[in-house]
Amino acid sequence: MTVNPCVLCGACCAHFRASFYWGEADDVRPDGVPVALTDDLNPYARVMKGTNQTEPRCIALEGIIGQKVSCSIYPRRATPCRSFIPSYENGEPNLRCDQARIAHGLPPLTPADWEDDRPNPEPEAPDHPPAGLPTAA
């Protein structure tokens, strides 16, 4: 299986404001975003600490951008984090993903970043899917 390129990136978590509906936090639902890691943005929204500033970096982002990163609240991250699709994961570019990567000196993803680099254990058959189809990690 290919390595999810997001694990080697993290740029979007240090480029955009990560705001979300206030009711997604754990003072409203127990499995929600830890409210201690958020600030109030307005009466309807909260924002991940560290992302509402000139040089953003989410408080939940661990690791080194462009090398190896993780989200310390991954199972409890907010909807905008869950719905941010990396370029070409689904076969389409995401200009915001590209923008974040470029801002951190990383090249935009290409379809090749989602190719499965395992050796094919099966012999090629005429109806075998073409090698290099984008794969979910």
Is the CB of 44 or the CB of 74 nearer to ligand SF4?
Answer: 74
Q: How far apart are CB 22 and ligand SF4 at their closest, in Å?
A: 15
Q: How far apart are CB 13 and ligand SF4 at their closest, in Å?
A: 3
Name the token pair of 121: 């254990």
Write out the residues near ligand SF4 by the rule CB under 6 A: 5-6, 9-13, 18, 48, 58, 60-61, 71, 73, 77, 81, 84, 86, 97, 100-101, 109
Q: How far apart are CB 76 and ligand SF4 at their closest, in Å?
A: 8
Q: Are 113 and 5 in contact (CB under 8 A)?
A: yes
CA distance 128 to 21: 45
**How many C-beta atoms lie closer than 10 Å to residue 127's C-beta?**
5
Q: Are 113 and 88 in contact (CB under 8 A)?
A: yes
Is the CB of 9 or the CB of 25 nearer to ligand SF4?
Answer: 9
